[in-house]
Each structure stands twice: as structure tokens, then as C-alpha cells.
Amino acid sequence: MMPQDSEQTTKRWFRRQPKAEDRALTPDSIPPSMLISTDAGEENVSSSAALRMADVFACVHALVNAAVLCPIRCWRDTDAGRVPMTGGRGVELLRQPQPGMAQATLVARLVQHYALWGECFVGKIRDASGQIAQLEALDPARVVKRIDAGQPLYDYYAPLGPVFNDLTGRDVIHVLGMVDPATGIRGASPIAQCRDALGLASSLTTSASALWANSAVPQGVLTIPAGVNADDQLETLKTAWSKRHQGSENRGKVAVLTGDVKWQSVSMPLSDAEFVATRELSTREICRIFGVPPSIVNAQGGGSLTYSTVAQEAQGFYTLALAPIFRLIEDALSLDTDLFPVLLSGCSFDADELLRADVQTRYASYVEALGAGFLTVEEVRAKEGLGPLPKQDLKTPDAAPEVAAANAQTPTVDPAAVKVAQQLAVSTLRKG
């Protein structure tokens, strides 16, 4: 593990000695991704500014929350099939990337970075012996990538001040999907590529706040003729109106006015009413940018939803939005020889908890899997979070051969008995 001393910690990060930094942070020196302009009225739509938009936050939040439900499992391919890995440097680092940090925290940061930037970086922090001691999700806004002699090099501007230059693939794992056509070596950030749509969403939010803060449109106007004592008349109207109509118990009462007082209703202009529809369209557009179905973020998707369509959208959310991010992270980590030096080993996300079906559907699938023989009772119990069954107590010597012979026979499944057992299990769970 790394020592707490800041000077020693700086020297051991990435095993690179930082160079002296004397540049100023000006628009000419900082990465272009930190200065994004739009044509929709917002001059700077950075990742942090975009995350302050409710629709963007909801989409990224949905991706991150779903990702933390999918733990990373390490495995190794053998002649007998794929078997779980329980030890090794990669397994330990992915289980606890840093002291006090759980695996889910690292996954949440990587998915958040990828959702906002179209890429994410994993920094490998080494100890004095050169072994990887920690894994860190590096902020893409603080990473500068370039190609030198055909090899990628990275400069990392750490939050606490030091700058690490000329980092290589031995120091940084770059998870890259869709490529930014402007650079060819960085990820295609949704914030940068769709800055006009996000700028429009930000402008709509600002306009909505200004509409209700500045318009001050009343529900109606009371007018009295000229020449009367306006102050006395207004005070009388105010007292009578409040007494008759103020409060929840007086809601909906008929308004009665005496004298020459007239009431004129005031409604919202059609252009302001159409603003609401424009806002909903902007929400759906942002959902399309992040691949998140509108129903996932409780937005209107343009049609009514049934139980089956909600289930289909949840499956589509995983298949089209989450699974590609998972695959890119899995491949990048599995190909790193520092984490998985053994050939035919790697890691993958386990989405069973995220895609967990209802009890009746799960039990029906378990019955089919047990009957087909590609799942055992112990494997089914493990999927349900249950321990192994207690072993048979073979105290009587005469009974041991009979039990052994019964266990050696190929089990047969009676369909009628299976159906009765399934119905009994579902009924028991419902009563419980």
C-alpha cells in the first residue's frame, strides 16, 4: 500500500517522477474538451454543467445505479469449462481497488465517466517494488492523450497538483468505444457531440425558471370604474374575497361581485403553453443520447406502457445502454497482463441481480434447467443466495450401499410431480 506522506506518494504514483509545471490554465493550454461552446445560447456546456441538468443527471444516475448491481466476477477458462478465480492480484484489486473503497465505487465512477465522456481511464498505482497496489478511476477531463512513435502516451493532471507526464499502457488502462472524429484517439463524448441539444435543454430550464419568476401572471383581474374611492373599494374587495375564497374548504365556490366591479380572466399565452411540450421533447431527446428509455427516468415516452412493455424496456435498457459499456470495460481489464497474467483468464460483469425475474418465472426456469441437466440443485440454491443442502446422515451401515446406489442412478423428472412442486413453492412464498 502507498504511504500517507505526500512526497513519497507523489513519487510512487504510476512510478513516474512528475516534471515541473509552469504553464497557466488558459484557453490555449487546457484540453479543448474543457471549453465546449454551443449554438443554443449556452457558451460552456462541460460535463459538470451538463450533469446539473435534471434530464442528464437522471440518465447518468440510472446507468450508474444499474451498474453497481452487477458485480465483476473473475474467471479462468479450462478444459472442464470456465471456473471462478478466487485468488490472484487482479481478483484482489477488483474486489478492493483502494483501501476503504469497494468494487461498486470503482464501477460507478467508470460508468459515470464513460456516460459523460465516451471513455474512461483506470490508473494503476504501484508500490515501491513495482507491484500494482491500487486502482484509480482517472477523470477524463484531466487526461491528455497523444501518440508518439505509434505508442499512446498520457499526461495526467492530478487534482492535488502534481502532473504525471509520458504515462504508458503500463500505467493507464484506456477504455475507448466510439471515437471522436475530431481527434481520432479520444472517446466521442455525448456532451461534446450533442452540445446543441444539451444547450437547448439548459436554455429551456433557464427559460422555465424565468417564466415563473418574472412573468407573475395572475389568474384574473378585478376592475372598478374611475371616479370611485379606489383605496376603500379595493380594501373592501380584498377582505370579502379572502373571507369567501381563501382556504381549501372554500375552493371552487362561485365568485359573487357587487357594484360596478368586473372580472376578467387571464390565461397563459399559447406560446408559453407550448413550452411544456418542447420541454418534454427535449427530455426524450436526451434519453436517446444516453440510450436510456424514457420510462427508466420516469419521463413520458409518447405512449402508454403495460407490464410487458416495461419489462421489454428494462431489457432494452440493459442490452443497448449498459451491456456495451460493460463489454468495453471487461475487455480492457481482461487484456491487461498486470491484472490477469495467466492466459485465458479475465473478468466479466454478472447481471443476474439486475435482470432478476419474478419468483414464478425464476422457479419455472429452474425446473426446466434441472430437468435438462445443465443446472444442479446446488447451483440453483447459490443463485437464490442459499447455502448447500445438508449431507445425508449415513449412520446405519446397511443403508449406505442402498443410498449410494440410489445416488448413482440417473435422476428422472416426473412432469406431474414437478408441476405440483412448483405450485406448492409459489404458494408457500406468497403466504410467507
Q: pLDDT tens across 324-373, in order?
A: 999 999 999 999 999 999 888 999 999 988 887 777 888 888 888 888 88
Q: Are residues 254 and 382 in the same domain?
A: no
173 exposure class (CB count in 10 Å sphere: 0-12, 13-18, 19+): buried
Q: Are residues 244 and 290 in the same domain?
A: no
Pairing of strands 81-84, 72-78: antiparallel
What's the grid cell of residue 102?
469497494
Residues 143, 154: Cα–Cα separation, whole Å: 7
Q: Are residues 159 and 175 in the same domain?
A: yes
Is residue 352 included in any domain, yes or no? yes
Amino acid 63: pLDDT? 95
Amino acid 289: pLDDT? 86
326 compared with 385, residue with greater pLDDT: 326
* Range name among 85-99, 213-227, 244-258, 331-345 with the lowest pLDDT average: 213-227
* Range name among 45-54, 234-243, 272-281, 294-303 with the lowest pLDDT average: 272-281
Which of the four pLDDT bands, split at 50, 70 and 90, describes residue 45? low
**Does the structure show a pLDDT above 90 at 68?**
yes
Q: Are residues 30 and 58 in the same domain?
A: yes
Which of the four pLDDT bands, split at 50, 70 and 90, describes residue 126? very high
Residues 95, 333: Cα–Cα separation, whole Å: 13
> What share of the chain has pLDDT > 90, as a percent?
30
51 exposure class (CB count in 10 Å sphere: 0-12, 13-18, 19+): middle
Cα 331 to Cα 219, 322, 334, 353, distances in angstroms: 60, 14, 5, 21
Q: Are residues 351 and 379 in the same domain?
A: no
Phi, psi of 37 (to 5 degrees): -105, 155
> Three-state secondary structure along 394-421?
CCCCCHHHHHHHHHHCCCCCCHHHHHHH
Amino acid 36: pLDDT? 42
Which of the four pLDDT bands, split at 50, 70 and 90, describes residue 70? very high
**Average pLDDT of span 372-400:** 71
Report the run of H or E that residue 382 belongs to, with start and end: helix 377-383
Residues 18, 11: Cα–Cα separation, whole Å: 8
Residue that is written with C-alpha cell 513516474 in the block: 16
**Highest mean pLDDT of the ranges 72-76, 205-209, 257-261, 397-401:** 72-76
Instruction: Find the DSSP H helices in 127-227.
Output: 190-193, 195-214
**Average pLDDT of span 196-205:** 64
Print the domain residue range for 380.
Answer: 359-391+401-426
Residues 322, 315: Cα–Cα separation, whole Å: 10
Is residue 366 included in any domain, yes or no? yes
Cα 304 to Cα 281, 310, 312, 364, distances in angstroms: 16, 10, 13, 29
Q: What is the pTM of this model?
A: 0.67
* Range name among 121-125, 170-174, 392-396 with the lowest pLDDT average: 392-396
Q: Are residues 321 and 346 in the same domain?
A: yes
Cα 174 to its chain centre, rounded Å, is 19
* Range name among 71-75, 256-260, 428-432 with the lowest pLDDT average: 428-432
Is residue 396 included in any domain, yes or no? no
Is residue 142 included in any domain, yes or no? yes
Is residue 26 included in any domain, yes or no? yes
Tally the domains of the chain. 3
Q: Are residues 278 and 133 in the same domain?
A: yes
Q: Are residues 410 and 317 in the same domain?
A: no
**Average pLDDT of span 268-280:** 56
Which of 303, 331, 356 is where one domain is finished? 356
Which of 236, 267, 298 is where one domain is finished? 267
**Does the structure show a pLDDT above 50 at 6?**
no
| Average pLDDT score, the chain | 76
Is residue 432 included in any domain, yes or no? no
Reference 54, options 237, 249, 220, 209; nearest CA is 209
Q: Are residues 408 and 278 in the same domain?
A: no
Amino acid 223: pLDDT? 72
Q: Looking at residue 21, what DSSP letter applies?
A: -
Residues 176, 43: Cα–Cα separation, whole Å: 27
Q: Are residues 201 and 251 in the same domain?
A: no
Q: Are residues 162 and 252 in the same domain?
A: no
Amino acid occupying residue 72:
I
Amino acid 1: pLDDT? 38
348 compared with 418, residue with greater pLDDT: 348
Is residue 340 included in any domain, yes or no? yes
What's the grid cell of residue 16?
513516474
Amino acid 10: pLDDT? 46
Rama region for 376: left / alpha / beta (φ>0; ψ in -120 to 50; rest): beta
Q: What is the pLDDT of residues 278-324, one digit of tens each?
A: 667 778 888 888 889 888 888 776 555 555 566 777 788 899 899 99
Residues 147, 101: Cα–Cα separation, whole Å: 33
Q: Are residues 125 and 32 in the same domain?
A: yes
Amino acid 40: pLDDT? 40
Residues 241, 249: Cα–Cα separation, whole Å: 14
* Range name among 164-178, 253-267, 352-366, 413-427 with the lowest pLDDT average: 413-427
Is residue 280 included in any domain, yes or no? yes
Amino acid 402: pLDDT? 53
Which of 336, 356, 376 is where one domain is finished? 356
Report how far apart the first and last C-alpha atoms of the chain are (Å, whole number). 48
